């Protein structure tokens, strides 16, 4: 199956419908080698506090530094990793690397937390909470400096089992974030069972708030929902100053997106982000 990037020689593995085809086995074998040879890398994207523009956390986003193909985005290999079970050692690698990097930037004077994405499959593997606890201990990272991002679909996954595993991880003091909220199987009932520290509003709604009243209504409601649950509301995919200002006025807590910073290796993360002026401030500056 040739995906969007089919013009290059990259095959997009959609996960479903490939079965045990030759290419499927090839990517699995390649991915196993990638892990062994250290070809995976993490880039980090900042999340800022909308009140002051300060970086609060960095989200780890995995890439494959392929010797021939260059930097391969996660959407091109994570489905194969999930199907083959390689997501288990991959997530362990990501967590260890991310926690080690967090210790690195703490030592450099930045108190940013680190956010790590986990797949539905990870929550099904026995001993995942113990793995998280062991990696925190191994790297010497305080639990409150780690946030795990889980999609709604993963929460819905095996219902109670996923909620129980998340509860165990939360009990360690690790933050729990619901990623891409509104884009998956919306199942508000899971929000009753899981202690949630952050709800990330899907980019699809955020990008439309200026032009589409319905998206505005949805974003406002999710912010209220997050606050009602005692969680932070974080907007994903913020690309313009206009959207940023709208989110400040709507009472959103944090934001992430290309306006603020693209994913980069952590030594390149710029700690200073210039907060877009509010409309009244901008007018004041003109006067």
Residue 234 in contact with Mg ion, rule: CB under 5 A: no
| 94 near ligand C2E, rule: CB under 6 A | yes
* Among positions 62, 176, 222, 223, the unique one binding ligand C2E when judged by CB under 6 A: 62
92 binds ligand C2E (CB under 6 A): no
Q: What is the 3-state secondary structure (H, E, C) of the chain?
A: CCCCCCCCCCCCCCCCCCCCCHHHHHHHHHHHHHHHHCCEEEEEEEEEECCCCCEEEEEEEEEEEECCCEEECHHHCHHHHHHHCCHHHHHHHHHHHHHHHHHHHHHCCCCCEEEEEECHHHHHCCCHHHHHHHHHHHHCCCHHHEEEEEEHHHHHCCCHHHHHHHHHHHHCCCEEEEEEECCCCCCHHHHHHCCCCEEEECHHHHCCCCCCHHHHHHHHHHHHHHHHCCCEEEECCCCCHHHHHHHHHCCCCEECCCCCCCCECHHHCCCCCCCCCCHHHHHHHHC
Contact mark string toward ligand C2E, 167..186, x via CB under 6 A: ------------xx------
Instruction: Considering the complex, state which of residue 62 and residue 275 has its C-beta at the smaller distance from ligand C2E.
Output: 62
CB 132, min distance to Mg ion, A: 17
State which residue, 148 or 280, has the beta carbon closest to ligand C2E: 148
Selected binder of ligand C2E within 58, 61, 80, 196 (CB under 6 A): 61
Which is nearer to ligand C2E, 44 or 105 (by Cβ)?
44
Q: What are the backbone angles phi and psi of residue 111, rounded to the nearest 5°?
A: -90, 20
User: Residues 43-82 vs Mg ion: string with x where CB under 5 A?
Assistant: ----------------------------------------
258 scored as a contact of ligand C2E (CB under 6 A): yes
Instruction: Determine if 149 is a binding residue for Mg ion (CB under 5 A).
Output: yes
Q: Estimate to the nearest angstrom the gap between the alpha carbon of 48 and the chain centroid.
A: 14
Residues from 103 through 122 that contact Mg ion (CB under 5 A): 117
Each residue 107-146 as x (binds ligand C2E by CB under 6 A) or -, in order, gives: ----------xxx---------------------------
Binding-site ranges for ligand C2E (CB under 6 A):
45, 60-62, 73-75, 78, 94, 117-119, 149, 179-180, 237-239, 256-258, 263
């Amino acid at each position: 199956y040739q995906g969007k990037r089919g013009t290059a020689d990259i095959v997009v593995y959609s996960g479903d419908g490939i079965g045990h085809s030759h290419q499927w086995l090839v990517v699995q074998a390649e991915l196993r080698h990638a892990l062994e040879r250290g070809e995976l890398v993490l880039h980090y994207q900042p999340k800022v506090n909308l009140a002051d523009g300060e970086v609060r956390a960095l989200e780890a986003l995995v890439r494959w530094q392929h010797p021939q193909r260059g930097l391969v985005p996660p959407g091109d290999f994570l489905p194969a990793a999930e199907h083959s079970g390689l997501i288990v050692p991959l997530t362990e690698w990501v967590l260890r690397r991310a926690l080690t990097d967090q210790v690195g930037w703490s030592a450099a004077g930045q108190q940013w937390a680190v956010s790590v994405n986990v797949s539905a499959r990870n929550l099904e593997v026995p001993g995942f909470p113990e793995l998280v606890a062991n990696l925190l201990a191994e790297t010497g990272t305080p639990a409150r400096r780690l946030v795990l991002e889980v999609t709604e679909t993963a929460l819905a996954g095996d219902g109670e089992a996923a909620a129980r595993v998340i509860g165990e991880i939360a009990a360690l003091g690790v933050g729990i974030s619901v990623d891409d909220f509104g884009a998956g199987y919306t199942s508000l009932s899971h929000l009753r069972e899981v202690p949630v520290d952050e709800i990330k509003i899907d980019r699809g709604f955020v990008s439309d708030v200026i032009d589409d009243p319905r998206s505005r209504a949805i974003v406002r409601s999710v912010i209220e929902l997050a606050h009602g649950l005692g969680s932070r509301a974080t907007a994903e995919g913020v690309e313009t100053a206009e959207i940023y200002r709208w989110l400040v006025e709507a009472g959103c807590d944090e934001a992430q997106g290309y306006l603020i910073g693209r994913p980069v290796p952590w030594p390149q993360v710029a700690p200073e982000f210039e907060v877009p002026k509010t409309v009244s401030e901008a007018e004041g500056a003109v006067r």
